[in-house]
Amino acid sequence: MSTTFTVALIQNCAGPEVEANIAETLAMSREAAHRGAAFVCLPEYFSALSSEGPRLTMETFLEDAHPALPAYAELARQREIWVLLGSLPIAAAGERTHNRSFLLDPEGRVVRRYDKIHLFDVDLAEGEEYRESATIEPGGEAVTADLPWGRLGMTICYDLRFPHLYRTLAQAGAEFLAVPAAFTKTSGKAHWHTLNRARAIENGAYVIAPCQCGEHAGGGWTYGHSLVVDPWGRVLADGGEAPGIILCEIDPAKVAEARAKIPSLRHDRPFESIGRCPELGDDCP
């Protein structure tokens, strides 16, 4: 479990054309595998990203009909690599959509699925607003998966702001925390690096966060800066603001090392919820 390995983060700027985005990211993924990556990770909505006002407007597929899945299954088999498909828009009941992440093994099999739990409904500066809940059906289950090098915790983008999810994953044995994202440029400048480093430090885990970059159809901008953060909070790789391949060597032994120095995962204690102050006869200030 302690053998080092190379992870590749694919940073793209997806448009609305599904086949074109898949072709581009497949070429980047093949190059990453050629350069030694054993685990290739793609961003949220890497196969298509577009919006109309606050709503996402990408083409949605039934899971068995999405063209990215067979294309990447073939790549995984050919190159004998693990692949994280950051997320794809998958048809749910009615007119809803799942924002779903897929983990493929070196035989091209889907071994885990994760549906994004926390939905991005926000109002940023100067009228910039997003309503992911207008089209997306939220997930309700935390998901881990066993890789050859340790356990992976699967999350997506806005989940990053909910530390209790990552604590749950770490307590379940996750040593690597995946955060595929299409983080907005506005919020990314303010919070992306800090949040990813915090999740790594809090849990003594690697954070692997491929993120889209650039301007997308409909006028939205994503931040880029795909990151690998080690369990001590050090940024090992930063993809900057342009499309590209980010390679980083991962040493799983660093997880045990960090957790031995600060064993906070063993120090969690139960506590009562906020109660009333008897002397005030009201909620505590």
Q: Indicate which residues carry an active-site annotation.
A: 44, 116, 157
Cα separation, 15 vs 74, in Å, equals: 23
Residue 239 contacts residue 11 (beta carbons within 8 Å): yes
Q: List all residues 6 or more positions away from 57 whose beta carbon is below 8 Å from its beta carbon.
A: 16, 50, 51, 218
Q: List all residues 6 or more positions away from 31 whose beta carbon is below 8 Å from its beta carbon.
A: 245
Whole-Å CA distances, 227 to 4, 8, 48, 135: 18, 10, 21, 28
Alpha helix (H) ranges present in the chain?
Answer: 18-34, 68-79, 163-171, 185-187, 193-203, 253-261
